[in-house]
Amino acid sequence: MSDCIFCKIIAGEISTYKVYEDDDVLAFLDVTPVNPGHTLVVPKKHYNNLLDLPETEASKLISIIKKITPAVLAGVGADGFNLELNNGVVSGQVVNHVHWHIVPRLAGDGRELWHGRSYDEGEAEEVLKKIKSKI
């Protein structure tokens, strides 16, 4: 896709800090990292989001994520990580090319996850019923 920044990176039109590359997958450092070592993992073929991504491609990406994450963590001295995928604008997806974020976590890094809430009385059952009716 000609206007996709990740496709331009994959094509070599934009330079990046490559963490890993093979025929199907590219992993590179995020230019605006949450923490040092924040790495993006993308398929070389363009897919807008996770729901467009074929199972075989998803499997390859997860396999590479499992392969490189220990190196990312060791390289920056992190003890844990968040694996994040934003799917759709409302979720925070900025680039419409499916990608996972490997975000190294360090004790005291100040990063917060989401703020959850409890279901109201009977709400969980209603939500469950609606979801199951769509499967």
Enzyme catalytic residues: 99
SS (H, E, C) the chain: CCCCHHHHHHCCCCCCCEEEECCCEEEEECCCCCCCCCEEEEECCCCCCHHHCCHHHHHHHHHHHHHHHHHHHHHHCCCEEEEECCCCHHHCCCCCCCCEEEEEECCCCCCCCCCCCCCCCCHHHHHHHHHHHHC
33 to each of 1, 36, 51, 57, 73, how far by Cα in Å? 25, 6, 25, 25, 14
